[in-house]
Amino acid sequence: MDDPLAIFPIWVVAIDYVFGVIMWTLIGRTAMNVFLAEDSNFFFMKFFVRATNPILKVFRIVTPGFLLQPLVPLYVAWFFFMFRFYLMPWLLGYSVMGMLSFPLEGEITRALHEMFYNPVE
């Protein structure tokens, strides 16, 4: 796997990391909401709710009213995915970046591969 900084300018990687963390935090909130209520005292749920509420307020204007409340963070995460997968490559002049070519997920995949598949010397 190539180093993202060798392929993309630093500002592209930084924007992707920020949007990637936001997207995965929204997905995490949705997953936690399957097991816990939003007003739960569990500290992880409190973090997910506090971290994502401002983002959900910004996207309230484009969130349909018929959507179930626990699924709203997943709906907003979809916007961040679409931005990262379609808009960023188009703005950068690429025709397609391809699946799993996101710098954030690529770094995580590389770290997991080195951790589990490379022998320790």
| pLDDT of res. 99 | 47
**What are the average pLDDT values for consecutive 10-residue runs of the chain, which has 121 residues?**
66 84 94 89 90 94 92 94 79 58 73 77 59
* Cα dihedral value 78, 79, 82, 84, nearest 10: -110
Helix 103-117 and helix 10-35, axial crossing angle in degrees, nearest 10: 70
Long-range contacts from 7-14, C-beta under 8 angstroms, 24+ separation: 8/92, 8/103, 12/88, 12/92, 12/103, 13/103
Query: How many domains is the chain partitioned into structurally?
Result: 1
The per-residue pLDDT for 6 is 67
Say how far apart CA 40 and CA 105 lie, in whole Å.
29
Range of the domain at 95: 4-117
Q: Kindly report the pTM of this predicted structure.
A: 0.77
